[in-house]
Structure 1
Amino acid sequence: MRLLRTLMAAATALAVTAFAAPSFAADDPGPAAYAKALNGKRVMLVPLAMGFDLAQGWAHYLKKEVEAWGGTFETRDPNWVVDAGAQAITDAIASDTRPDVLIIHAPDLNSYSKLMKKAQAAGTYVILVDNPANFPADAFVGSDWDKLGQLEAEAAIKGCGENSSKKIGLVQGDQANSSSLYQYAGIMKVLEKHPDFQVVAKPDSNWDATTSRNVT
């Protein structure tokens, strides 16, 4: 559990470590506990792909933290291919150097569920980052997407005002990713209270900038 708490703390700190390095009092027991928990441990990140800013940021700071405490950090790059991600997780579980912690950026709610259960059964902690899934992971580190959707809808209604067309175009990532699904649910909760505002278009971008511009 010390290892799990350490990784949760490191993952949570990703948003702030870019701005300030932590300072510890001379008698702070934290550093010694982190070093003891992570020394000699293997941590693997399996994102949707390594070629975009979120995954690169996570990898940079996780590598910095894990290796600073004496652990080993590595990544696998599915490059947006779900089957490749599943194979990477399968290989990791079967490896002689099986990771002690898998940090997974799930592509949808269900694709990796059986594999994550298998990883846990083998003794590997599973941390979901950014996207929740239909799986009881050891920890989830990410946003409250439903609440963000509500805030977005409220901002749109306030920004458009009563004298607007009250027509909303909603560009989603896709129909499977949990961040899209939960944000959409949050948006609809707010719009149900404002029936005069209507979503008149909701195309998917498939997480591609060019597609997003074109559908917009």
Structure 2
Amino acid sequence: MKKRNFLSVFLTMILMASLVTGCGSSSSSPQAGGGTAAQGSGGDTDGKLKIGATVYYMTEFITLAAEGLKQEAQKQNVDLTILDANNDVSKQISQIENLISQKVDAIIVAAVDSDAVAPAVQKAKEAGIPLIGLNMLINSPDVTAYSGPNDVEAGELEMQYVADKLGGKGNIVILEGPIGTSAQLQRREGIHNVLEKNPGIQVLAEQTANWSRAEALSLMENWLQSFEGQIDAVVAQNDEMALGAIQALEAKGLKDEVIVVGVDAIKDACESIKAGKLDATVFQDAVTEAQQAVQLAVKAAKGEPFEKENLIKMELVTKENVDEYLKIYQ
């Protein structure tokens, strides 16, 4: 009987010990930096943060930005997924919603449409997931932080270059980005800030070519027919459109008679300046913008302090200094 009582007590003690151990396993898994998993966190038990990014589409600029995202993700030791919305806002909204359902730790969005993605941004906030705007401002109070260009400054720089070259007098056409995007609106604001100070410059036409070289080529061909012999300069809100306009001008043998400027300082644009075709562009540091977006996402996910608005300074690129910018692509 004594042996049976001793065995019973021993088994009871083992059972109690196993229950205590089981309760201890339910504690929060630590994340990178020593914090605990946040609400909606998709962090693995090894503490590695998960960040999802969706971009409007893979232009040459966004391809550079994607490299910046990857570089900083590796440096920060986070898992990164980059999705291409192919300029389809419905697709981008779906991508954001899918990232929310996957419980990633943060989301980075280069928006197709500054207004249309706002409801998806709100869903991210409700899920406790910080959302960082990249390159395009999003019209929502629920955006956690933003990393992007000073687009008003970009518009002012390119337009001021043209105004100086024209001596404050002449006729221009303006190639715009997708209507309603923050870059289109703010670059337009910057362009018109300069135009207001130069009443001798007339705008013959102002129309979107949706950041597209092919669309700009077609639109410029139409303008050359509609305004034959009248166009003194083309002000394009990005380099792709500027390069499309140059193709149309070269086909008519008119490039030497018309000033063309753009924004972004992509490799093709810098090489075009070097070759004496594109007159000027405005450098927008895609890699730094993207790296900063990842830094903001990590800080927000960890609950660390950060600046909400982070604008990249813009720089005018001409034949005089283009070699410095071409070094970026070597």
Please state which band the TM-score falls in when normalised by the shorter chain: 0.7 to 0.9
Structure 1 residues 1-216: aligned runs within 5 Å: 36=33, 39-49=47-57, 51-95=58-102, 98-136=103-141, 137-162=143-168, 166-216=170-220
Q: 2 CA distance for matches of 1:60 and 1:143?
A: 17
Give the AA of the match of 2:194: V
Give the AA of the match of 1:125: P
Q: 1 CA distance for matches of 2:68 and 2:178?
A: 28
Shift of the alpha carbon at 1:36? 2.3
Q: 1 CA distance for matches of 2:68 and 2:76?
A: 13
Q: 1 CA distance for matches of 2:178 and 2:201?
A: 23
Q: 1 CA distance for matches of 2:214 and 2:87?
A: 16
Mapped contact 2:109–2:133 kept (Cα < 8 A): yes
Q: 2 CA distance for matches of 1:86 and 1:115?
A: 6
| Residue of structure 1 equivalent to 2:326 | none
Distance 1:157 1:68, change over 3 A: closer
Shift of the alpha carbon at 1:188? 1.1
Mapped contact 1:45–1:59 kept (Cα < 8 A): no
Structure with higher Rg: it is 2
Q: 2 CA distance for matches of 1:61 and 1:185?
A: 28
Distance 1:82 1:169, change over 3 A: same
The answer to which structure has the higher strand fraction is: 2
Unaligned runs of 5+ in 2: 1-31, 35-42, 221-330
| Residue of structure 2 equivalent to 1:18 | none
Mapped contact 2:89–2:113 kept (Cα < 8 A): no
Deviation digits for residues 21-43 of structure 1 (CA, Å, limit 9, x no counterpart)? xxxxxxxxxxxxxx627941111
Shift of the alpha carbon at 1:54? 2.5
Q: 1 CA distance for matches of 2:87 and 2:175?
A: 19
| Residue of structure 2 equivalent to 1:8 | none
Distance 1:86 1:155, change over 3 A: same
Unaligned runs of 5+ in 1: 1-34
TM-score by length of 2: 0.51
Give the AA of the match of 2:33: K
Shift of the alpha carbon at 1:111? 0.8
Count of equivalent residues: 178
TM-score by length of 1: 0.76
Shift of the alpha carbon at 1:206? 1.6
